[in-house]
Structure 1
Amino acid sequence: MQTTARPPSTEEHDGCPPDIATMRASARRFLAEDSTPPSAHELETLTLQLRGHMQLLIPEVDQVIARLPEDDVPRYCALACVGEARRKLDIAPRPGLSAGIAHARRLARSLNALCDHYENFSGDRS
């Protein structure tokens, strides 16, 4: 059974900036060339962690890019990244450990890109 965390609403947001360093460390777990493949149980936990990070960061990136001019090319790139991240959150991995790892790698790359956009537009270099 796959469950997803609900991102905080505007009223629930605590005003703290996202922990980009922790998010990048989670992504690095799947993107490092020398990383040891996780067990099936670890994979499920790590994938849920990546998904949770993305669900927290997407609204943050949305807020940051909303302040940019409408005709700004980097804004369009960030909007495309957010759209792609949302689509990846809607995809269920195929059965099997290797398919799950491939899915987690796609989520990790998307999370890294969201972190890049957040840092570039918010000025927050964690």
Structure 2
Amino acid sequence: MRLTNDSVAGQPFGQEPTVRELLGEGGRVVARRPCRNLYEANQVDTLLLVRHQGNLFEFYRAPEKDLLRDAVVTNFQPAYGRRLRRRLAAAHQPGPGATANVRIGDTERTNYVSVVYQRGQLSAVHVEPYAE
């Protein structure tokens, strides 16, 4: 099933988790990879992979900012997981006992949230901001 919802696709977490927040709450960097900046000559940025309570986040780290590139959430207990669950519940309610894959995009088709429901319950969410 495909849905269009600019609010959910554009801001699935509401307030997006940050690298600092995740690391401050026990997360850890599990991979770090240099990445050449396409817009600033001679600038090398970093792709950070951060694991927090079983959830995985990829950030593009440039000197001025960390940008969330990808997230896979299966544990909805952290504050960002609870916010995500609330926002998704407002956007879509699967039938009781239903197993479904739902892809929520924005009208510009630049941001996507893929949601898996098992037995009517939220099971996993894949957040893809700025999908290419």
- Give TM class, smaller chain: under 0.3
Where relative contact order (Cα < 8 A, 6+ residues apart) is larger, the structure is 1
TM-score, length of structure 2 as denominator length:
0.26
Q: Structure 1-normalised TM-score? A: 0.27
Which has more strand, going by share of residues? 2
More helix as a share of residues: 1
